[in-house]
Amino acid sequence: MERVKLEVRPRPEMGTRPSRRLRKQGLIPGVLYGSGKAAQPFAVDERHLRDAFTTDAGLHAILDVTFEGKRRPHIAILKDHQLDAVRHVVTHIDLQEIRLDEPIDSTVAIVVEGTSVGVKQGGLLDMLTHEVAVQGLPADIPEHVTLDVTSLGIGDHGRVADLVVPDTVTVLDDAEQIICSILTPRVVEEEVVEEAVAEAVPAEPGLVGEETEGGAGQGEE
């Protein structure tokens, strides 16, 4: 996997106000964590950060993080990030320093392929989860894994065991965990419910003293 260079600058001040000032300057605050090392706060240009995570590797890019004025890069991956609730832009990132020869745990997206038989019959594809946990060497972690739903009929399920995953990666989630289901068409369900309700409601009884078909009412002498 191609390594992506990312130059950052040390961030001497921590806290909400300094971070707000950085964002106004087009900089995103972050922290680099390393195993057995002190956390290193930094700031990175928003455009450079966007470029780093829009390669083919997406959010799973392996980064060569270089601090301004330093030559030795820190090999790292994205550990976590925060988004602005309104503008949906990154407001903070956490990077984790790694070794390329040691496996890591990661979460990757699930991409659905094909149109299921059940959907063609009017069913609804219901996704219960969009991610799966995997483990592998950093360079082997894929941007996503796939689930082919073509053969699923109404009432069928797609499970973790059905995912197409590279041989170099181990899936950590339970193989029987359900990822998606093909639901019965709602229109048919509503019609069945309406029919059941109609059958359950008894006919309105005649009033006491009211003449009924074929004879006098019970209240008539």
User: Model confidence over 144-162: pLDDT tens digits?
Assistant: 999 999 999 999 999 999 9
What are residue 123's phi and psi, to 5 degrees? -75, 175
How much is the average pLDDT of 78-105? 91
Do 151 and 125 belong together in one domain? yes
Residues 6+ apart with CB under 8 A from 207: none
How high is the mean pLDDT of the chain? Answer: 86
pTM: 0.72
Nearest to 95, CA basis, from 39, 33, 22, 10:
33
Residue 217 located in a structural domain: no
Residue 211 located in a structural domain: no
Residue 10 located in a structural domain: yes
Residues 6+ apart with CB under 8 A from 209: 217, 218, 219, 220
Structural domain boundaries, residue 13? 3-98
Last residue of a domain, one of 54, 82, 98: 98
Ranges 5-14, 123-132, 169-178: which has the least confidence:
5-14
pLDDT of residue 207: 43
| Residue 81 and residue 90 in contact, taking contact as beta carbons nearer than 8 Å | yes
Last residue of a domain, one of 54, 71, 98: 98
Tokens representing residue 48 in the block: 């450079």
Measured CA to CA in angstroms, residue 31 lies from 39, 55, 168 at distances of: 6, 22, 30
Measured CA to CA in angstroms, residue 191 lies from 133, 154, 155, 187, 195 at distances of: 40, 17, 18, 6, 6
What span, in angstroms and rounded, lies between the C-alpha atoms of 135 and 148? 22
Do 113 and 52 belong together in one domain? no
Reported confidence tier of residue 88, pLDDT bands at 50, 70, 90: confident
Residue 210 located in a structural domain: no
CATH code at 143? 2.170.120.20
Residue type present at position 210: E
Residues 6+ apart with CB under 8 A from 97: 32, 33, 34, 35, 37, 65, 74, 75, 76
Residue 93 located in a structural domain: yes
Do 14 and 84 belong together in one domain? yes
Residue type present at position 144: H
Residue 208 located in a structural domain: no
Do 111 and 132 belong together in one domain? yes
What span, in angstroms and rounded, lies between the C-alpha atoms of 70 and 73? 8
* pLDDT of 170 over the 60 cut: yes
CATH code at 67? 2.40.240.10
pLDDT of residue 44: 95
Do 113 and 157 belong together in one domain? yes
What are residue 182's phi and psi, to 5 degrees? -105, 110
Residue 215 located in a structural domain: no
Residue 212 located in a structural domain: no
Do 18 and 82 belong together in one domain? yes
Specify the number of domains making up the chain: 2
| Residue 147 and residue 180 in contact, taking contact as beta carbons nearer than 8 Å | yes
